[in-house]
């Protein structure tokens, strides 16, 4: 199959490079990095796998110059979906193409499916620590697991084939049984640590090293689980302890929203905070601590 990477940043660069290194045909859409990647290739420095240097890259600066592809992996921030995604993805589609959103948040698949009627859409969550450290250069710190949940792809075997391709890279990939549960499970971590790291100007490891913020993190995670359960995603309470221990064991890492805020970029508030708060409330449960965190983030986003 032909793969397109829309958004060759840290996530898209790493996953695309690993697919290409494993022998898949991958086409990369780039912006400011185009000239350097075209000349020098893509580099992945990994603390987990062998380093990768793709000398010759199928690199493009304009989507109109790319071939149509079978699988379009969207690795942009959701803040770009409404404004630029249609113009980037439409030229890449044929009748059997599917769009897989390696993005964060709740409700993103429905909105993208409405933008591309007749095209199958799936959502994916990435358990990964990776930073872009230069043009076409990614530093992979830890993990890399990918899980894909179907939204409206009619050919269910397509996701199996994509999972198999990622498995051949050495990553752990699997197909989720339920997209709603997949999205809420990731939100338990994202809602808690993205927002708190921005509001308190810190990193997740420091939050969990302090008793007060450790307890607050735990309370917010419990609240998200109750919101998830109200929305039909039956997440166990025990996952809070497991996720806290997982986070403590991680290498010190600033979440993506903290990096965006520090760089003056828009934060992904709609899908990570606004939609979950509204959907849980509509289902009968008010996530009050999450809503307070949202209001603080909305304030910070204005100044």
pLDDT for 29: 98
pLDDT for 156: 82
Distance of alpha carbon 188 from alpha carbon 195, whole angstroms: 12
- Output helix, strand, coil percentages for the chain, rounded to the nearest 5: 50, 20, 30
pTM across the whole model: 0.96
Three-class DSSP category at 171? coil
Helices (H) and strands (E) in the chain, counts: 13, 10
8 Å CB contact between 69 and 158: no
Distance of alpha carbon 269 from alpha carbon 107, whole angstroms: 12
- The two tokens of residue 90 are 């439409």
Q: What is the DSSP letter of 170?
A: T
* Average pLDDT in the chain: 96
Distance of alpha carbon 197 from alpha carbon 256, whole angstroms: 10
Is a pLDDT exceeding 80 seen at residue 25?
yes
Contacts of 274 (CB under 8 A, 6+ apart): 294
Give the H or E element holding residue 92.
none
Tell the burial category of 162 from Cβ atoms under 10 Å away from its Cβ (0-12, 13-18, 19+). buried
Phi, psi for 164 (deg, rounded to 5): -65, -40
- The two tokens of residue 66 are 């790319």
Per-residue pLDDT of 128-149, as tens digits, reads 989 899 999 999 988 899 999 9
Helices (H), the chain: 10-21, 34-40, 81-89, 108-115, 157-167, 179-199, 204-209, 211-230, 239-249, 256-262, 269, 275-282, 288-302
**Which of 78, 302, 92 shows the shortest CA–CA distance to 186?**
78
Tell the burial category of 200 from Cβ atoms under 10 Å away from its Cβ (0-12, 13-18, 19+). middle
pLDDT for 250: 86
Residue 17, Cα to own-chain centre: how many angstroms?
Answer: 16
Q: If you average pLDDT over residues 72-98, what whole number do you get?
A: 97
Residue that has been written with the tokens 């409330």 in this structure: 281
Contacts of 297 (CB under 8 A, 6+ apart): 195, 198, 199, 267, 269, 273
* pLDDT > 70 in the chain, percent: 100
Is 289 a residue of the active site? Answer: no
Active-site pick, 2, 77, 132, 186: 186
8 Å CB contact between 11 and 28: no
Per-residue pLDDT of 247-257, as tens digits, reads 998 888 789 99
How many CB atoms within 10 Å of residue 120? 20
Per-residue pLDDT of 227-239, as tens digits, reads 999 999 999 999 9
CA distances from 226 to 136, 182, 197, 289 (A): 41, 15, 22, 12
């Amino acid at each position: 199959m032909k793969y397109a990477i829309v958004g060759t940043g840290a996530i898209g660069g790493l996953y695309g490079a690993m697919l290409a290194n494993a022998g898949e045909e991958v086409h990369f859409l780039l912006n400011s990095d185009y000239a350097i990647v075209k000349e020098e290739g893509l580099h992945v420095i990994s603390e987990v796998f062998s380093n990768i240097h793709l000398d010759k890259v199928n690199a493009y600066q304009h989507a109109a110059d790319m071939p149509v592809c079978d699988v379009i992996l969207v690795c942009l921030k959701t803040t770009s979906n409404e404004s630029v995604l249609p113009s980037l993805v439409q030229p890449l589609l044929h009748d059997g193409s599917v769009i897989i959103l390696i993005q964060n948040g709740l409700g993103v698949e429905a909105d993208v499916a409405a933008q591309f009627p007749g095209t199958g859409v799936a959502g994916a969550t990435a358990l990964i620590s990776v930073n872009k450290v230069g043009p076409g250069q990614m530093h992979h710190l830890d993990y890399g697991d990918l899980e894909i949940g179907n939204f409206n792809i009619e050919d269910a075997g397509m996701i199996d084939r994509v999972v198999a391709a990622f498995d051949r890279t050495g990553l752990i990939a699997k197909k989720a049984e339920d997209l709603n549960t997949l999205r809420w499970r990731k939100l338990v971590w994202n809602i808690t640590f993205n927002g708190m790291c921005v509001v308190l100007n810190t990193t997740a490891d420091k939050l969990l090293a302090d008793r007060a913020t450790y307890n607050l993190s735990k309370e917010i995670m419990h609240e998200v689980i109750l919101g998830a359960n109200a929305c039909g995603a039956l997440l166990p309470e025990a996952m809070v302890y497991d996720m806290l221990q997982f986070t403590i064991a991680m290498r010190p890492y600033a979440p993506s929203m903290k990096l965006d805020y520090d760089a003056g970029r828009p934060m992904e508030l709609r899908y990570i905070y606004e939609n979950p708060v509204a959907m849980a409330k509509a289902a009968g449960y008010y996530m009050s601590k999450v809503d307070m965190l949202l209001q603080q983030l909305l304030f910070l986003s204005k100044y």
